[in-house]
């Protein structure tokens, strides 16, 4: 990693997800009624690309235009909390917002707010200086004017031969300046600019990409093709196709920003373009499978703020207040394995949040012996909190989670199917507030003890 920052240039938006339940139709129109249970805000557009790059451990400077309104202040706060330094050009209109109305894993509608007035004035010297000091640059254009600033474009054109510049274009934005390292349109954007020849097969996609590369005088064009991965074309070289791993489900929101930010980082590390594209495709696929921008950024917030009883209590109170179901489960989770993950995923589907009560190191030693745990409490908590199905982790020191449950008061307590036929010690505690215990299937062949024994045999 370079000591110099990655500079992200582009239009920042405020994205909001309104989560809720749909149980009836409106009496005045045949449309579903969404009963709101939660709302989450996060940076969008170039702001999302900057936050994702910062989450990868890089120092990031975002050159953007922010408005002086409530949404703009929220966006400033979110960017600051993510560790992103901002060079603000000033936005002439209202902060652009994209509001998704969601039920479960599905989006019902998107509401867009804000006008299209761009930056108030030309880019200040600080913005141009940031480019001169950068290890790499990502232009994340959302068609609202930042990428069209003449001073920024001139500075980028000068720097393009000396440092890697990735340009993620927008149909309403300007063409990139000449000599940009790599331009990353998606397949739909390529079709808008180069509608001929007909068809979207690999040969046609390659021909269109070469036409764009010549038109833009770019070093390379990398067309992102969704589940088909990415296609790279350069002059005098055979096209390079990077396939995407199969993703059975997920949320593609923000996948393009994840791809572009990762590609820019890897090029800033001076990785070869083809290798950087392969890594960026893999990261974008993982991002989609983990739930997209909403869940991934939500997990980042949870990992910072909800690894204790206080954070778990706050989450449980929010979900209860919105009429949702609070689900909890517990265990040591030493050497997390596939059986654990499948049990946690099954538990999460039973309500609106999942809180994991985690045995502390002292508790594990009393239950499992002096050689356990193999993985310290803080690391076990961090790994659990990174799972998209886990919303909070609450460590406890006792032999059972009874005291933690008394505080959290979940509606549902989940245990794996290896408890079938046995009475659960937590049931008496749950009855005090009307909670209930539920057993989910046990997944054969997964055992932490067995993993430890097999590892010992290999030594």
Q: Does one domain contain both 210 and 76? A: yes
Note whether residue 376 is domain-resident.
yes
Domain around 273:
6-292
pLDDT band at 2 (very low <50, low <70, confident <90, very high): low
Which whole number is the average pLDDT over 411-429?
A: 75
Q: Is 361 a catalytic residue?
A: no
Predicted confidence (pLDDT) at residue 446 exceeds the cutoff of 80: no
User: Is the same domain home to 265 and 322?
Assistant: no
- Rounded to whole angstroms, how far apart are CA atoms 390 and 358? 12
The residue that leads in pLDDT, 143 or 440, is 143
Q: Is the separation of the CB atoms in 180 and 215 below 8 Å?
A: no
Q: Do 249 and 370 have their domain in common?
A: no
CATH code (residue 269): 3.40.1190.20
339 and 281 in a common domain: no
Residue 274: pLDDT over 50: yes
Residues 174 and 58 in one domain: yes
- Does 300 map to a domain? no
Indicate the pTM of the whole model: 0.67
Give the rounded distance of the alpha carbon of 3 from its chain centre: 25
- Residue % of the chain over a pLDDT of 70: 89
CA–CA gap between residue 264 and residue 168 (Å, rounded)? 10
CA distance 10 to 145: 8
| In-domain check, residue 252 | yes
The answer to whether residues 190 and 218 touch, using CB atoms and an 8 Å cutoff, is: no
**344 phi/psi in degrees, rounded to 5:** -65, -40
Asked, for residue 204, whether it belongs to a domain, the answer is yes
Residue 298 covered by a domain: no
Q: In the chain, how many domains are there?
A: 2
pLDDT by residue (tens digit) across 69-81?
Answer: 999 999 999 999 8
Among candidate residues 17, 141, 168, 257, the one labeled active-site is 257
Spell 157-187 as b/e; 16+ CB within 10 A means b: eebbeebbbbbbbbeebebbbebbbbbbbbb
Which helix (H) or strand (E) segment is 413 a member of? strand 412-416
For residue 28, give both structure tokens. 């005045």
pLDDT tens-digit profile of 290-333?
778 876 665 544 443 345 677 788 788 888 888 889 999 999 99
CATH of the domain at 429: 3.40.50.620
pLDDT at residue 307, as a whole number: 54
- Which of 292, 320, 348 is the last residue in one of the domains? 292
Is the pLDDT at 452 greater than 80, yes or no?
Answer: no
């Amino acid at each position: 990693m370079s000591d110099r920052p990655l500079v992200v240039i582009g239009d920042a938006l405020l994205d909001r997800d309104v989560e809720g339940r749909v149980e009836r139709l409106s009496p005045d129109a045949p449309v579903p009624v969404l009963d709101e249970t939660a709302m989450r805000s996060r940076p969008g557009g170039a702001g999302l690309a900057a936050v994702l790059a910062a989450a990868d451990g890089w120092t990031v400077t975002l050159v953007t235009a922010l408005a002086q309104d409530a949404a703009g202040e929220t966006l400033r706060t979110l960017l600051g909390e993510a560790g992103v330094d901002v060079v603000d050009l000033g936005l002439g209109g209202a902060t652009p917002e994209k509001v998704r109305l969601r039920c479960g894993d599905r989006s019902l509608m998107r509401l867009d707010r804000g006008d299209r007035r761009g930056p108030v004035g030309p880019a200040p010297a600080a913005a141009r200086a940031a480019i001169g000091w950068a290890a790499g640059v990502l232009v994340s254009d959302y068609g609202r004017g930042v990428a069209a600033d003449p001073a920024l474009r001139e500075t980028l054109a000068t720097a393009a031969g000396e440092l890697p510049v990735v340009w993620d274009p927008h149909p309403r934005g300007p063409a990139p300046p000449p000599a940009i390292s790599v331009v990353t349109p998606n397949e739909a954007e390529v079709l808008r600019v180069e509608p001929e020849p007909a068809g979207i097969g690999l040969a046609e996609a390659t021909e269109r990409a070469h036409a764009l590369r010549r038109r833009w005088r770019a070093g390379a064009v990398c067309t992102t093709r969704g589940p088909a991965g990415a296609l790279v074309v350069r002059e005098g070289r055979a096209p390079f196709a990077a396939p995407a791993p199969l993703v059975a489900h997920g949320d593609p929101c923000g996948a393009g920003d994840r791809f572009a930010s990762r590609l820019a980082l890897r090029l800033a590390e001076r990785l070869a373009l083809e290798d950087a594209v392969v890594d960026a495709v893999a990261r974008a696929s993982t991002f989609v499978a983990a739930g997209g921008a909403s869940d991934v950024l939500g997990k980042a917030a949870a990992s910072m703020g909800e690894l204790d009883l206080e954070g778990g209590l706050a989450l449980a109170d929010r979900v209860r207040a919105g009429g949702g179901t609070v689900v909890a489960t517990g265990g040591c989770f030493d050497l997390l394995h596939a059986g654990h993950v499948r049990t946690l995923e099954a538990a999460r589907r039973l309500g609106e949040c999942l809180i994991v009560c985690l045995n502390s190191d002292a508790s594990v030693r009393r239950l499992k012996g002096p050689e356990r745990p193999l993985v310290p409490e803080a690391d076990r908590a961090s790994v659990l909190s990174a799972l998209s199905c886990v919303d909070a982790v609450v460590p406890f020191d006792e032999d059972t989670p009874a005291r933690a449950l008394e505080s959290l008061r979940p509606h549902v307590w989940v245990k794996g199917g290896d408890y079938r036929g046995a009475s659960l010690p937590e049931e008496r505690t749950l009855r005090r507030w009307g909670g209930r215990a539920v057993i989910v299937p046990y997944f054969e062949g997964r055992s932490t003890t067995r993993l430890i024994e097999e590892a010992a045999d290999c030594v």
